Structure 1
Amino acid sequence: MKKHITILSFLVLTSFNAFSQQTSPENSYPKVAGYMGILHPINTWSDGTSTGNFGSVYTIGFPTGINILKSDKIGFSFEFVPTIRSENGVSKMNNFLFHPGVMFRFKHGLTLVTRAAFETSGRYGFTPVLNKVVKKNKHSNYFIAVPLPVRFGNDRPTSYTLGFQFGVGF
């Protein structure tokens, strides 16, 4: 019984001490933030060919994510991207991407996100993303991003894509 009381006392005192040492809400970490956006792949290069997105086939993604910010300089991000493809008058969801990554935050609203990529299409790879906050409000911000997906697997040649993304963080 004494052991349980000692453990309980330690937990209460530790919690009280951590609570009393917190700084102002703007500067305390970790922070959790969410975002959602629209992704347009611009062009894909694979096996010596180049394929644009705005011709006979159109693909659009809807990235949604949660960022866990450890400090002003680094964080972790979980992103989920359902993708819709329209071709020959038929549209369908053709892929779902799980996209975890580490965020490196810089001055002036710039962030580099290094993401791993796991797709339901059987492809995998990585995606470096350069992100820029273009308008910051009190409880939200608007951003643009340039993702550069590199994909392997599923018995297909390596592909490289240039994309454009915009969205809102909250």
Structure 2
Amino acid sequence: MTMRFKGFIITTFLYLFYASASAQQTYPKITGYVGILHPIVTFGNDVPHYNFDGAYVVGMPTGINIWKSSRVGFSMEFVPTIRAIDGTSKMSNFLFHPGALFGLGHGFTLATRAAFETSGRYGFTPVLNKIVIKGKQCSMFMAVPVPARFGNDQAAAVGVGFQFGITF
């Protein structure tokens, strides 16, 4: 990576951070977020699989939202997943999660995301999100993702998770 390219990356990150922290009131509006994702249950061909049932899985979503208006936006989310089992842990998957955002009012947002995983799976994930603590510079949110996954010679699966985090 050249020094010029590294400078471009750092400048772009600082601009995005400043733009999101400056409490924009005009559109387009850029926001970012970080969170923790806990899958709860996954339904596939066989019996339901619950998190904590033999292994613990946690995701760490990070994303950028570009709002065109208070009602419509675009989001890019990146989610590394850690799996812990028998006293060891490793990054087990990486998810690229682009999608459309729909502001529903009263702090609710519906994210409709496509899903592309390094595990070879793909699908979509509707996410219902709610701002629970609104601040001037940042806010806290809770969300319920419902991932549907296909491919990689595995049965189709649908799950439910719980996510919380900070948007700025």
TM tier relative to shorter chain: 0.7 to 0.9
Pick from 117, 120, 127 the counterpart of residue 119 of structure 1.
Answer: 117
Distance in 2 of aligned mates of 1:110 and 1:124: 26
Question: Following superposition of structure 1 onto structure 2, how do residues 21-170 of structure 1 map, counting pairs within 5 Å?
Answer: 26-170=24-168
Tell me the amino acid that sits aligned with residue 143 of structure 2. A
Distance in 2 of aligned mates of 1:27 and 1:46: 44
Deviation at 1:27, TM superposition (A): 3.1
Distance in 2 of aligned mates of 1:68 and 1:141: 16
Distance in 1 of aligned mates of 2:64 and 2:156: 28
Per-residue CA distance 1:83-131 (angstroms, 9 max, x = gap): 0001122100000000001000011100000000000000000000000
Query: How much identity, in percent, do the aligned residues show?
Result: 60
TM score, norm. by length of structure 2: 0.85
Q: In angstroms, what is the RMSD of aligned CA positions?
A: 0.9
Deviation at 1:65, TM superposition (A): 0.1
Per-residue CA distance 1:50-85 (angstroms, 9 max, x = gap): 010012110000000000000010100000000000
**CA radius of gyration, larger in:** 1
2:106 aligns to what SS in structure 1?
helix
Across the two proteins, how many residue pairs are aligned to each other?
146
Deviation at 1:49, TM superposition (A): 1.6
Distance in 1 of aligned mates of 2:123 and 2:68: 25
- Gaps in structure 2 of 5+ consecutive residues: 1-22
Q: Write out the 4+ residue segments of structure 1 that deviate beyond 6 Å after TM superposition.
A: none
Which residue is 1:4 aligned to? Answer: none
Which residue is 2:18 aligned to? Answer: none
Tell me the amino acid that sits aligned with residue 82 of structure 1. P
TM score, norm. by length of structure 1: 0.84
Distance in 1 of aligned mates of 2:126 and 2:71: 17
Which residue is 1:18 aligned to? Answer: none
Tell me the amino acid that sits aligned with residue 111 of structure 1. T
Deviation at 1:48, TM superposition (A): 3.2
1:95 aligns to what SS in structure 2?
strand
